[in-house]
Structure formats: C-alpha cells, structure tokens
Amino acid sequence: MIKGFKDFLLRGNVVDLAVAVVIGAAFTAVVGQFTASFLQPLIGLVGGGGIDGGTVEVDGQVFDWAAFLNAVITFVLTAAVVYVVVVLPMKAMLERHARGEQALPAEPTQVELLVEIRDLLRAQQVRAPDGSPGPGTTVLPGRH
C-alpha cells in the first residue's frame, strides 16, 4: 500500500494537478478581487447606493442580494475563463486526434525491441557450411 501511494505521488500527473490547483486558487483570488473592487460597488450603486446599497431589510433581517450577485458573477467569470483556456483547446486537440490529423508516435514495446535485437544477433551469427562461425561473426557464450 505504501509503495502504491509513493508511485502515485511521484507520477507527473500529481505534480501537474498540484500546479493547476495553485494557479486556479490564484486566479480565483484575482477574479474575486476584481468583482469586489469593481462590480460590487457598481451593483451597490444600481441597488440604491450608500452603505445599504444592494441590500433589502425585511422585519429586521438584512438580505444582501448584491453579495450573492457578486458571487454569481465571480463564478461565471471563472468558469468562462477555464472553459476558454482549458476546455476548448483540449476539445480541439482530441477532435484532431480522433480525425487522425495528429497521430501520436507509437513507441515500440519491450517485446518488440527484444525481438529486433534477437533478429540482429541472429543475422550477425552467419555460420560457414562446416558449422563453424563465419568470418566477422560474433560468438555469444553458450551459443557455439
């Protein structure tokens, strides 16, 4: 179990995920500050201005609809940027790959490499008609 956890942590995907989380948190802070600094005062002005702009009081309970609207705008802006920056490029890349425009290079497997090495060694071991190794032939131990 410990080995599996170690393998999981050392994979490249975990590092990529950690970087994405950090960048996402920083981006969310920027969007949050933008909406708090520019949009929330604008919403407050539309809602009547002043300290109580964007709020409604009913029977002593204050409903801060401006803060809710600000949170919705923050979410929509964040989702839109993530969609444009991450989802659309990934979707386009997957569609190109599905159409065969961008074929990923297939690397040979270990078995294929070993078969190729074996065939090359066999080609080097050309034997003379009397059964002795021919000139320039490499003799492997245990294979005379």
| CATH number of the domain that residue 74 is part of | 1.10.1200.120
For residue 93, give the amino acid letter.
M
Residues 6+ apart with CB under 8 A from 34: 77
For helices 65-82 and 12-34, the axis angle rounded to 10 degrees is: 140
Q: pLDDT for 18-60, tens place per residue? A: 777 777 788 888 888 888 888 888 887 877 776 667 778 888 8
pLDDT of residue 12: 58
pLDDT of residue 131: 59
Q: Of all residues in the chain, what percent carry a pLDDT higher than 70?
A: 74
Backbone torsions φ then ψ of 56, nearest 5 degrees = -130, 135
Nearest to 51 by CA among 34, 69, 38, 64: 64
Using pLDDT thresholds of 50, 70 and 90, give the confidence band for residue 88.
confident
136, pLDDT greater than 60: no
Task: Please name every residue paired with 89 in a beta bridge, in sequence order, or none if there are none.
Answer: none
Task: Please name every residue paired with 118 in a beta bridge, in sequence order, or none if there are none.
Answer: none
pLDDT of residue 43: 80
Say which residue the tokens 């964007």 belong to: 54
Residue 126 has which token pair? 């050309």
- Who wins on pLDDT, 100 or 139? 100
Residue 133 lies in a domain: no
Compute the distance between CA of residue 83 and CA of residue 90 in angstroms, rounded to an integer.
10
Residue 45 lies in a domain: yes
Residue 91 lies in a domain: yes
Backbone torsions φ then ψ of 129, nearest 5 degrees = -60, -25
Residue 139 lies in a domain: no
Average pLDDT value for the chain? 76
Total domains, the chain: 1
Residue 6 lies in a domain: yes
Residue 144 lies in a domain: no
pLDDT of residue 75: 85
SS3 84: helix
Residue 141 lies in a domain: no
110, pLDDT greater than 80: yes
Residue 61 lies in a domain: yes
SS3 71: helix
pLDDT of residue 65: 83
Domain that holds residue 70: 2-99
Compute the distance between CA of residue 40 and CA of residue 31 in angstroms, rounded to an integer.
12
